[in-house]
Structure 1
C-alpha cells in the first residue's frame, strides 16, 4: 500500500487558528487488460522450456489411429469436445492399416530401405491390409457406420462368394435356393434336415417364447440342438465354422443361443445382397478408421500424423494430464490411446488376438484383443 503523507499549512499570526490540511488521493487501481492476440495466449501451464503442441490445451487427447481410437475421437468431436488426435505413423489405421507400396516397404524394410521397384507400379495401385478381414453386411460395425453417417466417406463392394475346403475339395457356400439344391456339399437327405434346422432358426426370437419350439437355448448345448435335427458331422462342421465362424469345436458344449445368433447374423447378411454375407471397403480396411477421422476433423478435431509421443505427463498425484513430443507439450482433461503408447506398468492386458482369427466383423473384433487404454482425472 502507498504511504499517505499529511501536511499542515500554518496560518499567519492573527489569522484564524483553523488549519487547512492537504491529503493527496490514493492511486486508482486500473483493470488489467484482457489478453489479446498481440499479447499472446496464457502459457503459464507449460513446463519450463517447453512449447505448446498445436493449440496446447484440449478436452481430449487420442493416441493412435486404430479403428477404436478413431471411432472415439469422431464421437467426442461430434459431442463438441476439443480433440487432439496424434499417431506415430504417417498413415491412418495403426495395426489395422491398409498400406500403399511405399508405406509397406517402410514398415517391413526399415533398415536400408529403398524405394520400391518401379516395375511394381504406382502407390495408388496398392492397399495391403495388415489384418485382412471381411465385414458382415448386417453386423454391428455396419450399424455404427450407418448411424454415424461415415458411409458418406466410404465405398463398399459385395464379396462375390465364399468357399470352404472339405475332404480335399473346394466348395462354394450356397447363397441362393438354387445353389443350395445343386450343391454337393450336403447330401440329398441331409439337405432336408438342414432346411428344417434353418427354418427353426429363422423363426426363433429370443424375446418371443412361442418361437422356442420347446427348447431352452440358454441351457441346451449346440451339440444337443444338432442332435435334435439329426445333422451329420459334415453339416455340423460346415455350420459351426463357415456360418457361425467359430475357431474350434468348444462351442459345441456351450449354450446354443450364442451360435444361433451368429448363424442368424450370417443368414440376414446373406439375404441383404444375395451373393455372400460379406462386404469390403474398396480401398481396404484402413478406410474405416480414416472415415471416422474425417468425422472428427469436420467437427473441429486436430490430427497430427508422423508425430511420436515421447512421454506421458502426469500430475503429482499420478494422473495422466498430457503428452510431450520433443520440446512440445499438450494437455487435456483425459487421454485415450492404444496400449503401445502407455508405459507397461500402466497397461492391464485383457486378451490377445489369436493368429488366424478371421472373424467377419471388419478390422476390429471386440471379443478378443487388447482394447484402448483410458486415463482421466
Structure 2
C-alpha cells in the first residue's frame, strides 16, 4: 500500500476490539459471524480488494494475477522494533512496553501454470474475463444434508445465497467410460451400466445399511433387556473393520465397491492397499458417509442429486457470512494490510496489530489468514525479550499438498449435462495412482462463465509437485482435448459436436497448494482449503477454534433476529 493509499483511509474507530480477524476466507468469515452473533466486537480486515481470500471466486484475469502474486516470495525484510520508533508514524501510541513484530505472507501455491490454448482465444478470453468466476479452492460442492447446509440455515447466512443442483454424479472407470453413481432406488433401476445381479446386490446392501441405521436410532428394548432391532445392526467387530473388508464380506463386485468407497463415501486414498493408504476408512465411518449421501438425495425438490453449488461460485459462501457478521455489528475494511503484531515486551503476549496505514489497534484475540506468519530468525530483538514466544508464533503444521487444475471449454464432458461431479478412483487412470482425483464441471447457468462455456475443476491429494501434476494431467487428458503446453496451436479451436468428441480446452491453469494448519494461544490461524469436495472437515476445525476462543458461548445461538425478513429454514434453490 502506498502512502497516498494509506492516508486515504480515515482512522478506524474504536481502536479496541474483542477480536481482530485478518483475511476473509471461509473459516475467518464464519468465526466473524459467530463471534458477532454472541455479542463480541469484531474488526475484519483483508489486504485484498475482494472477499474470500483463498476461497474466493475471481474473474479470469484477477484469478491469474492472484495466483502469480502469491506464488512468488515477497521481497521483504523482517524487523523487530519498539513502538517508540513507530510513534513517528502514529502519535496515538508511545507505549514503550510493546514491541512490533512484522508479519509476512508465505506462499501457499507453487508450480503455477496458466495459459490460453490457442492464440485465437486470447482476445475472446480478455473480452470475457469478467464473465468468469473461478474458484481458487475448487472443486467444491455442498451435500444437501451436511453440516454446511445446517450452518447456513442456523446462522441466517442462507438468505444471502442461491444454489442450483448438480445434475449428475459420475465415476470414471479404467476403461475410459463415465458411469452414473446409483445413489437411490430409482437410480439403481434406471442404471443401464449395471446388470440385474449387480442391481440386486446393491439394493440388498443399501437395505442392510438402512436397517442398521434404523436399529441404531432405536433406544427402546423389548422388556427382556434386549434392544429392539438388534438383529438388524451391523456387528461392532464389522464396524471397527476396514470398510473395504466389509464390502468384500458382502460379496459386492469391484465396480460397486469402487462406487461406494470413492464416489459416495468419498475416500481419498486407495483403500485396497493398506500399506500405502494414509487414511483407511472404517466401516463405521463408511456407513455414516453413505447415510449422509443418501439423505442428501432428494432433500430439496430442485436438486436432482446429492450436491448443490452456489450461483456465482464458491466465493459467495464467505461473503454470505461476512454479510451476516456486518448485520451483527462487525466492522469491515478491505485493501488494508496488517503489517505488524504488537507484543508485550516482557511476556511476549499478543496485544494488537499495526495497519499499513500506520494505525495501531488492540484486541484480546487475533485470527490470521493461513498465509501469514512471523519471519525467523529475527534480525534483532530487545534485551530479555522472550524469543520462545516468537518461535511458537512461527510454527507451521504442513498436512500435505493438493494439486488443483481448472479448464475452460466450449462443450460439456457429457452431452446435455451442464453441471456434474466426477471421481477418478485410485488406479483408474494409471497403475501407480494411489489417491482419488475429483472433478466438478459447472456450466454458464450458474453464472461462473460466459454463455455456452463450461468450467472444470480438478483436485488430487499428493506428496509432491511431480505427483500432483501427473495426476492432473492424466485426469484432464481422460476427458478433454489438451494441446501440448509447448505448442498451444497443436489442437483445433472449433469443437465438432459429436457424442464421442472430447471438449477442447480454451484456457487452463494448474497449481499445487500447501495444506496447513497453525494454532497458538491468543493468536490463531485458520486452515487452508483442503482436498475434500465438501466443507465438513473445514467447518469442524472452524467450530473447534471458536469453542477454544469462547468456551462458554454457543456457536450461532438459534434466535430470530428482527432484521431477518425471511425464514431461516428456507434455502433458495433455482430450478
Distance of 2:309 and 2:34 partners within structure 1: 23
TM-score where L is the length of structure 1: 0.76
Does residue 311 of structure 2 align to residue 282 of structure 1?
A: yes
More off after superposition, 296-305 vs 336-345 = 336-345
Distance of 1:254 and 1:171 partners within structure 2: 23
- The Cα offsets for residues 202-248 of structure 1, whole Å up to 9 and x where unpaired, read as 22234446355352244233233213321011211111001111012
CA contact (8 A) 1:322 1:329 kept: yes
Unaligned 5+ segments in structure 1 are 1-50
Does residue 156 of structure 2 align to residue 130 of structure 1?
A: no
More off after superposition, 184-193 vs 287-296 = 184-193
Query: Tell me, what secondary structure is at the counterpart of 2:20?
Result: strand
Please state how far the C-alpha of 1:182 moved relative to its aligned partner: 3.2
Q: Residue 7 of structure 1 aligns with which residue?
A: none
Distance of 1:319 and 1:103 partners within structure 2: 37
Q: Residue 19 of structure 1 aligns with which residue?
A: none
Distance of 1:343 and 1:372 partners within structure 2: 20
Q: 1:322 aligns with which of 327, 330, 352?
A: 352
Q: Residue 257 of structure 1 aligns with which residue?
A: 284
- The Cα offsets for residues 100-140 of structure 1, whole Å up to 9 and x where unpaired, read as 245224324559xxxx9576445652210011211111111
Query: Tell me, what secondary structure is at the counterpart of 2:168?
Result: coil
Please state how far the C-alpha of 1:171 moved relative to its aligned partner: 1.3
Q: Residue 236 of structure 1 aligns with which residue?
A: 257
Distance of 1:308 and 1:94 partners within structure 2: 13
Distance of 1:122 and 1:159 partners within structure 2: 24
Query: Tell me, what secondary structure is at the counterpart of 2:297?
Result: helix
Q: 1:204 aligns with which of 212, 225, 235?
A: 212
Q: Residue 247 of structure 2 aligns with which residue?
A: 226
Please state how far the C-alpha of 1:280 moved relative to its aligned partner: 0.4
CA contact (8 A) 2:244 2:261 kept: no
Query: Tell me, what secondary structure is at the counterpart of 1:231?
Result: coil
Query: Structure 1 residues 372 and 259 mapped into 2: Cα distance closer, same or farther (>3 Å)?
Result: same
Distance of 1:334 and 1:214 partners within structure 2: 46
Across the aligned residues of Structure 1 and Structure 2, the Cα RMSD in angstroms comes to 3.0
1:301-340 to structure 2, matched below 5 A, reads 301-316=330-345, 317-326=347-356, 327-340=358-371
Distance of 1:125 and 1:56 partners within structure 2: 39
Distance of 1:353 and 1:310 partners within structure 2: 27
Q: Residue 349 of structure 1 aligns with which residue?
A: 397
More off after superposition, 335-344 vs 253-262 = 335-344
Q: Residue 35 of structure 1 aligns with which residue?
A: none
Unaligned 5+ segments in structure 2 are 1-9, 73-121, 219-226, 275-279, 376-390, 404-459, 462-530, 551-575
CA contact (8 A) 2:183 2:294 kept: no
Distance of 2:16 and 2:129 partners within structure 1: 37
Query: Structure 1 residues 214 and 198 mapped into 2: Cα distance closer, same or farther (>3 Å)?
Result: closer
